[in-house]
Amino acid sequence: MKIGQTNVENIVEEFDTPVYVYNAKEIREQYRKLVDAFGSRYDNFQLNFAVKSNFNPSIVKVLVNEGAGLDCASKAELKLAEELGVDEVMYTAPYNRKDELEYAVDKGAEINLDSVFLLDKLDEVPERICFRIDPKVEGNQQLMFAGGDAKFGIEEGKAVEAYRKAQEKGVEEFGIHMTTGSNVRDPKYFEKITERLLDVAGEISDELDIEFEFVDIGGGLGVPYKPGEEELDVDETAERVVNKFEEGIEKYDIGRPELRIEPGRYLVAQSGHLISKVTGVKNKETEYIGLDTGMHQLLRPSLLDSYHEIKKVNDSEENELAERTVVGLVCSSIDVIAEERKLPKLEEGDLVSIENLGAYGFVMASH
């Protein structure tokens, strides 16, 4: 098995296991797909990478070199943006501490406030402010960042008041933002949320005579994890989003703001693999395959019940599939990576590659 041009065995020889491996070429390809699809349909377009999905400096650098801006969510991410010399930085703050917010303002990041009360934490309000709106459109059932009981964003009914307050505090330039869900592969969903956000922007603009510098429809673009799942059709997504966007800015006469997206998962998920070694096989009622990794390095299956393909490195065609349960080495019964999954025969010393771990993989590990 190769990742890019490199044999997995050679990687293991050099770095041992467990090891997270990324393919930079795939990241560049994903980035270019999005920029081509959106940028060719709307000229004032900006993509900010959601650093929370993978804060590995080398990965972030790949995207920055391609031209991506950054969406940061912590002081550490802001420091990384500074080290990489990135100018286009947005800081999204839900429930943040005053000192962190002030740090972000100090560093010149654009401030995206999740709640109006955060405005009062700023002794000096920057010239430009963005608010995160909850347009009550739900994403996928598991990863819901809006509507229902979601903790994020300002309810649309309170949005005008938020912007009015910012105006009263002297803010002169505005953006509007939402992130409503994650791992969505339906283009129509992105069309719907764009329409909803523009309706909110239109109302604010009418009431307060605000012209938005940018409209940010957030992240949430999905990738397939399970066999048979389809890729998100990026061209259809861009077509639907840009059409709604053009319609909305014309209807509400809000100029020609920058259209922004801030994906994480779509750009990096498929590029990442966790290579691990089988440490032993135990036959009880089920067959347990033990690995030299576990939930301390790969939390997603235990915490989110996430599905990740497991491939045997050097698998041969004649290897018969049977149901096996793959477990980690942590002394906890929830440290299960795949339950009763159809897999080839695995023996002590075999290498496996756990797939689609470029987003929310290593960042969720215990450091």
Q: How far is the CB of 236 from ligand PLP (least distance, A)?
A: 18
**Contact with ligand PLP (CB under 6 A) among 110, 156, 191, 262:** 262
Residue of minimal Cβ distance to ligand PLP: 219
**Contact with ligand PLP (CB under 6 A) among 74, 92, 271, 306:** 92
**Contact with ligand PLP (CB under 6 A) among 30, 56, 179, 353:** 179
Task: Pick the stretch among 119-127, 177-185, 302-310, 317-325 that binds ligand PLP (CB under 6 A).
Answer: 177-185
Residue of 274, 284, 285, 367 lying closest to 328 (CA atoms)? 274
User: Rounded distance, CA 22 to CA 207, Å?
Assistant: 48
| Residue 175 interacts with ligand PLP (CB under 6 A): yes or no | no
| Residue 77 interacts with ligand PLP (CB under 6 A): yes or no | no
| Residue 265 interacts with ligand PLP (CB under 6 A): yes or no | yes
User: Rounded distance, CA 344 to CA 338, Å?
Assistant: 13
User: Residue 220 or residue 344: which is nearer to ligand PLP going by CB?
Assistant: 220
* Residue 231: CB atoms within 10 Å: 12
| Residue 244 interacts with ligand PLP (CB under 6 A): yes or no | no
Beta bridge partners of 276: 352
Contacts of residue 235, Cβ cutoff 8 Å, sequence gap at least 6: 37
Instruction: Write b or e for each residue in 23-50: b if 16 or more Cβ atoms lie within 10 A of its Cβ, otherwise e.
Output: beebbbebbebbbebbbebbeebbbbbb
**Contact with ligand PLP (CB under 6 A) among 182, 194, 270, 297:** 182
| Cα 212 to Cα 204, 273, 339, distances in angstroms | 10, 40, 49
Beta bridge partners of 343: 322
| Residue 69 interacts with ligand PLP (CB under 6 A): yes or no | no
Q: How far is the CB of 263 from ligand PLP (least distance, A)?
A: 4
| Residue 221 interacts with ligand PLP (CB under 6 A): yes or no | yes
User: Residue 8 or residue 93: which is nearer to ligand PLP going by CB?
Assistant: 93
**Is 72 a known active-site residue?**
no
Q: How far is the CB of 320 from ligand PLP (least distance, A)?
A: 37
Q: How far is the CB of 352 from ligand PLP (least distance, A)?
A: 25
Give the active site residues: 331
**Footprint on this chain of ligand PLP (rule: CB under 6 A):** 50, 52-53, 71, 92, 179, 182-183, 218-221, 262-266, 359
